[in-house]
Amino acid sequence: MMKKLINQPEDLTPELLEGYCLAYPNKVKLEKEKIVVRANPKPEDQVAVISMGGAGHEPAVSGFVGDGMLDASVVGDIFAAPGAPKVFEALQMFKRDAGILLVVLNHAGDVMSANMAMQLAERAGIKVKMLLTHEDISAGIDTPIEDKRGLAGCIPLYKVAGAAADGGKSLDEVYEIAERFNGQMATLAVAVTNCTHPQTGQAISNLADDEMEIGMGQHGEAGGGISKILTADETAERMITPLIEATGATSGDTVQLIINGVGSSTLMEMNIVYRKAYQILDARGIKIVPGLIDNLLTVQEMGGFQMILCKLDPDHVGYLAAPANAPYWTVQ
């Protein structure tokens, strides 16, 4: 039985966005229905960075709208992509000579809406480039890009792209910097408990009490196979090893390690996992910049986490350290 503090199921998305923008009025505002923008817009001679995605994954995506990160997020219904007309509406709002970078996670609905919005934007003379994130390696490191899902790696990518855009880089330069980062990161997810769809109350995954699944998708999609639950150290080792291989990080390289909680796992658990993954990276002589352990892109009350490893070029290190002032990512 689902147990959540909600009102009418059909009001979930507008009510959560209203509360969010009321809480952070100095950083974000609800410009139009389901479009969250910066409270303090950047100059129009700078590239705008926009992303999109379904609700139910809070704080993503709107939690990362703010100075130094996204200019806007386009929000869909719970676990559903926003429609193409709403994405196009956001592109129209940010039409500028400097152009727009549209960051899209590789999920069928999001990609379909984004492609249709891009066609509408081209007809309207809007200068925009689309970047597709696809860092989930659960299907195999050598799996074609189009078959790899976009997971929480979009969050550090927002930071890199946003810093480059706020730094005055051109659209081509912002795209190149972000796409290079995109190609050097990898993510694996693990689920240990189920979640429910908050509008229907139906379970969207099915794990027994003594089971876990490495490689699950953002909505509980099948992963690399169900196994008996492992210890934190065993889980971390099983995940960080293929992530190192996927990014190609070797001794002397610099990386960022992020643990994204997906709903109900505690910071205690995630800290323990980060510790073991850090130890393995350090033992290999890989340099590690300050990381992040937090709930960034969640799946309601699902237990587990996503482990994200980003191999960094020197400019990426600088962009990650640049000032940012989004509600859920601040750098001073």
Catalytic residues, by residue number, are 57, 219
Residue whose entry in the numeric block shows the structure tokens 């003379």 = 125
**SS3 for 269?**
helix
Nearest to 149 by CA among 122, 109, 197, 98: 109
Vertex 220 angle, CA 190 and 90, to 5°: 110
73 in the Ramachandran plot: left (φ > 0), alpha (ψ -120 to 50) or beta? beta
| Distances 317 to 6, 61, 156, 313, 324 between C-alpha atoms, Å | 41, 22, 11, 7, 14
CA neighbours closer than 13 Å in the CB half-sphere of residue 96: 19
Strands in 128-133's sheet, in edge-to-edge order, are: 28-32, 35-38, 72-78, 48-55, 100-105, 128-133
Residues forming beta bridges with residue 226, ordered by sequence position: 213
